Structure 1
Amino acid sequence: MSLVVVFALVAGGIAAFSLLVDEALDEEVKRDRTCCWDKHATVASVARRIGIRIPTSAIDRRAGVKENDRQTVAVIAFTVPTRLAESYLARLVPEDERMVAPTWPDGSAPPEPDSTFRHLGLPEPSTVGPHSGVRTVNLCPDAAGKEAVHLKHCVDVYRLAVNGTADRTRLYFRSVVAGQ
């Protein structure tokens, strides 16, 4: 067998192996995005687990808990009138913190998270784009905001106008509640 044939066989084997690995990783990513959602999670149970108090006038309340080998992530989202959202966030976010557009230090948009909010039928707030006006902050139980004393875990908070209107705001909360 000539050296060219051996090289071609080795290169072909490497290419085939690479395709199989890529396909397996794609399947794992797809499975991770759809797998392991707690079918018994309710808005009330998720709110208690994170330590979020939901305003009584909130509508379109959605929540879920996703468990995998590495971590358990709890998510919750609800819609309130914009004025209520602003007063709620003023009590939650410490005075020395501010909500900012979700970006990385180089100014680019953050990579898509694990589609937790998409599972709830909502857009991922960190990827809706800079034109949307989305703002975010990360808070932990030791934060100084009056409402933050109820937090049981660190939480990413997002604020986004609903359908581009100024009168309704959706608040999103994502928290790793176990693992990592």
Structure 2
Amino acid sequence: MSRPEVPAGAGAGERERSGRRKLAVGAWVFSGLCILGVLGGVVMVVHGLREPAERTKPCCWEEGVTPEWMAKRMGFQVPETATDRRAGLHTNLQYDVALLAFTVTTAEADRFLGPLQPEGTQLVRNTHPKDPGYTRADGFSHLGLPEPETFVEGMRIGGLCRGDTKTPEGQAVAFCTEIYAHEFQPGTTRIYLWAGSDAPIPKPPA
């Protein structure tokens, strides 16, 4: 049986069409990979933006936190004459925050603060106050108090970590603590103690 005749140039045309099909398929594959890559990048960016927000979002104010328990946990000897004692413990995924506030006479405040000041230092004025009404997720507004960073008049600011002073009071401090002393009326001072801890702070007994 004789083979059908193939028109001249048919082989070349078929090869040309086959080459075009391969180029088209390759282009589609390349485009698909590019689209997948872009989508993957978008997903990673969105996840990266969302994850830090989740790590830093406000979480929990623990129940059963008393000023007496918190003073012992933070390592402070609150003067027996102190009034309006308040305390709180805030926990989240990054760090825990211990809060303690109380009111004493200004003379008693000075006696309390003296052993907590590293040698050669003194409390300073608040030269960069926050706007009135400023609040923070782990701040004293939870205790019904204005944030100490908003005060200028009568405000003194300091801080220390354990071992910054050689006094027994300084050696007893459990966490690095920001100290605010606000003489909100002549002869009367409110002490604010704010301490952050990367390690979880044990919760009060139920």
Secondary structure of 1:39's counterpart equals coil
Q: Whose RCO is larger (CA < 8 A, sep 6+)?
A: 1
Q: Which residue of 2 aligns with 1:120?
A: 143
Task: Select 2:172's aligned residue among 150, 155, 168.
Answer: 150
The counterpart of 1:49, out of the listed 42, 52, 73, is 73
Measured after TM superposition, the shift of residue 115 of structure 1 is 4.9
Find the partner of 1:109 among 129, 136, 144: 129
SS at match of 2:113: helix
CA shift digits 1:119-156 (9 cap, x unpaired): 0011110122x2x2211112010111522111011100
How far apart, CA to CA, are the structure 2 residues paired with 1:73 and 1:115? 7
2:162 equivalent to 1:141 = yes
> Scaled by the length of structure 1, what TM-score is found?
0.71
Larger radius of gyration: 2
* 3-state SS of 1:172 partner: strand
- Which residues of 2 match residues 18-167 of structure 1 at below 5 A? 32=58, 35-103=59-127, 108-109=128-129, 113-128=136-151, 130=152, 132-144=153-165, 146=167, 147-162=169-184, 165-167=185-187
Deviation at 1:94, TM superposition (A): 2.3
Whole-angstrom distance in 2 between the partners of 1:101 and 1:92: 17
Distance in 2, matches of 1:97 and 1:133, equals 18
Distance in 1 (alpha carbons) for counterparts of 2:181 and 2:166: 16
Contact 1:79 1:171 in 2 (8 A): yes
Distance 1:156 1:56 in 2: 22
Residue 109 (structure 1) shift: 3.3
Aligned-partner residue type, residue 67 of structure 1? T
2:193 alignment partner in structure 1 = 173
RMSD over aligned CA atoms reads 2.4
Unaligned runs of 5+ in 1: 1-23
Percentage identity across paired residues of the two chains:
34
Deviation at 1:75, TM superposition (A): 0.4
TM-fit CA distance, 1:43: 0.8
